[in-house]
Amino acid sequence: MTISSAPDQALVLAAIEQVWGSMLFATAEAWPSDRAADFETGVQAQIELHGDWNGRLVLTCDSDVATQIAGAMLGLGPDEELPELDIHDAVGEVLNVVGGSVKGALVGTWALGLPGVSETSGAPSRDESFVVSWGDAPVYVQILPDAA
Amino acid sequence: MRALIVDDSRAMRRIVGRILGDAGFEILEAGDGQEALTVLEGLGGPPELACVDWNMPVMDGLTFITEVRKRPEWRSITLMMVTTESESDRIVRALAAGAHEYLIKPFTGEAMLEKLDLLGLLRTSTGV
């Protein structure tokens, strides 16, 4: 599938479903809009996308979900622990692969930046994001255009 | 046999390293193209395989491949690009620069082993 405009929610969701399945051996589903999806401290990964549209993809999740995502990606057992640096690296690489899949589905010349990952407090506004599931936990996804 | 994994993601180096390690390779790692050139210069002889990401800080994978291909003493290295860059023009550029194979992320272990088999590296490595 190729899209000739800015990345939209359906395209990004399809990329997330692909990456969840192939890299994390999990299923991603849309999070019900009427279900609470809050958390206090989390991890936020961002990656820039430039082309006919300029902006960034942002993935935000609870710290425990980030740990689980890193563990699934690396095939760790439940008792194996990772340092925070490695958890951030894994979440950033997940978003990097999502971004690559999105970029590959867009028509024209596009460039993907390098992922950046940081701690965050609180979930993004649901008005500016959509939410997918990681097991029974929410993962926020934002498609944010650069400021004009 | 030795394989150099060049990727700025520690997680991805770990995943690729596990696949190649299970296939019998001794693993070397670098976090970008410049560091990979330093690793190569410090070796007594070149590794049989280098798996190279495209988008990395300091020196990207395409530049690294171009630099490797300038050095006659590294001509024997089999170069495989392992990247999220999936557009056909990118694949053509990598192959033109000297990459032997191209694997798009996300990939499965089986897909990587198929590539190694096509390159004639799997049988030799595992002694089958």
pLDDT tens-place string over residues A67-110 = 999 999 999 987 889 999 999 999 999 999 999 999 999 988 89
Residue A73 in domain: yes
Asked if residue A56 is part of any domain, the answer here is yes
Kindly list the residues from chain A whose CB atom is less than 8 angstroms away from the CB atom of residue B107: 22
CATH number of the domain within which B26 lies: 3.40.50.2300
Domain interval for residue A28: 9-32+40-145
pLDDT digits (tens, 9 = 90+) for B70-85: 999 999 999 999 999 9
The pLDDT score that the predictor gives to residue A3 is 56
Q: Examine the pLDDT at B127 and tell me if it is beyond 50.
A: no
Residue A39: pLDDT band with limits 50, 70, 90: confident
Residues 6+ apart with CB under 8 A from B114: none
Task: Note whether residue A134 is domain-resident.
Answer: yes
Phi, psi of B13 (to 5 degrees): -60, -40
Q: Give residues 32 to 71 of B whose Cβ lies within 8 Å of A.
A: 55-57
Cis, peptide link before residue B106, omega less than 30° from 0? yes
Please indicate whether, in this complex, the C-beta atoms of A92 and B9 are within 8 angstroms of each other: yes
State phi, psi for A39 to the nearest 5 degrees: -155, 165
CA nearest B98: which of B122, B80, B117, B119? B80
A96 part of a folded domain? yes
- Residue A4 belongs to some domain of the structure: no
Q: HSE (CB half, 13 Å, CA atoms) of A115? A: 27
| Rg for chain A, CA atoms, rounded | 15
Return d(Cα B67, Cα B80) in angstroms, integer: 15
The stretch A43-58 carries a mean pLDDT of: 96
How far off is chain B from A32, nearest CA to CA, in Å? 27
Q: What are phi and psi of B40, to 5 degrees?
A: -60, -40
Q: Could you tell me which residues of chain A have a Cβ less than 8 Å from any Cβ in chain B?
A: 18-19, 22-23, 70, 73-75, 85-86, 89-90, 92-93, 96-97, 99-101, 103-104, 112-114
Separation between Cα atoms, residue A115 and residue A41, nearest integer Å: 20
The pLDDT value recorded for residue A108 is: 87
If phi over 0 gives left and psi between -120 and 50 gives alpha, with beta otherwise, what is residue A12? alpha
Q: What is the mean pLDDT of chain A?
A: 91
d(CA B120, CA A66): 38
| Each residue's pLDDT tens digit, B28-38 | 999 999 999 99
Q: What is the DSSP letter of B72?
A: G
Rounded Cα gap, residues B47 and B66, in angstroms:
17
| A97, A101, A114, A117: best to mutate for the B interface, most B CBs within 10 A | A97
Interface touch A114/B15, C-beta < 8 Å? no
Query: Is 80 exceeded by the pLDDT of residue B123?
Result: no
Provide the domain limits for residue B31. Answer: 2-126
Query: Closest Cα of chain A to B73: distance in Å?
Result: 32
How far is it, in rounded angstroms, from Cα B31 to Cα A6? 31
Contacts of B83 in chain A (CB under 8 A): 100
Please report whether residue A23 resides in a domain: yes
The tally of domains found in chain A comes to 1
Q: Residue B125 has which token pair?
A: 């490595």
- What's the whole-number average pLDDT of chain B? 94
ipTM here: 0.89
Which pLDDT score, from 0 to 100, does residue B128 have? 44
Q: For the domain that residue A100 is a member of, what is the CATH number?
A: 3.40.1550.10
> Domain count of chain B?
1
DSSP state of A24: S
Instruction: Give the closest residue to A13 by CA, choosing from A131, A128, A115.
Output: A131
Phi, psi of A120 (to 5 degrees): -140, 155
| Residue A3 belongs to a domain | no
Residue among B56, B57, B106 whose CB faces A97 most closely? B106
* Nearest-angstrom CA–CA distance, B69 and B98: 7
Cα–Cα nearest to A82, from A93, A66, A98, A61: A66
Residue B24 CA to residue B22 CA, distance in Å, equals 5
